[in-house]
């Protein structure tokens, strides 16, 4: 049990955490301990969009550079 495998430092597990809000029924799925605020959710979304844009741009860049490096000869091929 370490911090790296997702277990909290005190050795407890997320699904063993007490239901502090008292809404959990026996047998019901465990409530996760981390709830994002609206601001955190909004910022995570903007980070995700930025990563998507960067990855898309990299794909375009690699495609264009490949065409440039291969040159017009890439179109000359036996059919």
Partner 1 sequence: MTDVASRDYAITAEERPLDGPSYASVSDYLALLKPRVMSLVVFTALVGILRAPGEVHPVIAFTALLCIAIGAGASGALNMWWDADIDAVMSRTKRRPIPAGRVTPGEALAFGMTLSVGSVLVLGLLVNELAAALLAFTIFFYVVIYTMWLKRSTPQNIVIGGAAGAFPPMVGWAAASGAIGLESVLLFLIIFFWTPPHFWALSLYKADDYARAGVPMLPVVSGPDETRRQILLYTLLLVPLAMSPYFLGMAGLAYGVASGVAGAMMLALAVKVYRLREGAVAIKACKQLFGFSILYLFTLFAVLLVEALHLPSWLSGLGG
List contacts with partner 1 (CB under 8 A).
3-4, 6-9, 14, 32-37, 39-40, 43-44, 46-47, 50, 61-62, 64-65, 68-69
Q: How far is the CB of 26 from partner 1 (least distance, A)?
A: 22
Q: How far is the CB of 34 from partner 1 (least distance, A)?
A: 4
CB nearer to partner 1: pick between 37 and 79: 37
Q: How far is the CB of 63 from partner 1 (least distance, A)?
A: 11
Longest Cα separation, the chain: 72
Query: Which among 60, 64, 36 has a CA at the least distance from the CA of 48?
Result: 36
What are the residues whose beta carbons fall under 8 Å from the beta carbon of 1, sequence distance 6 or more?
7, 11
Contact 32, 16 (CB under 8 A): no
């Amino acid at each position: 049990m370490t911090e790296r495998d997702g277990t909290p430092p005190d050795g407890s597990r997320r699904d063993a955490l007490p239901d502090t809000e008292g809404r959990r029924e026996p047998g019901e799925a465990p409530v996760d301990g981390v709830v994002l605020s609206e601001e955190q959710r909004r910022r995570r979304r903007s980070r995700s969009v930025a990563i998507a844009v960067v990855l898309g741009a990299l794909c375009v860049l690699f495609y264009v550079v490949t065409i440039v490096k291969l040159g017009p000869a890439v179109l000359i091929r036996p059919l």
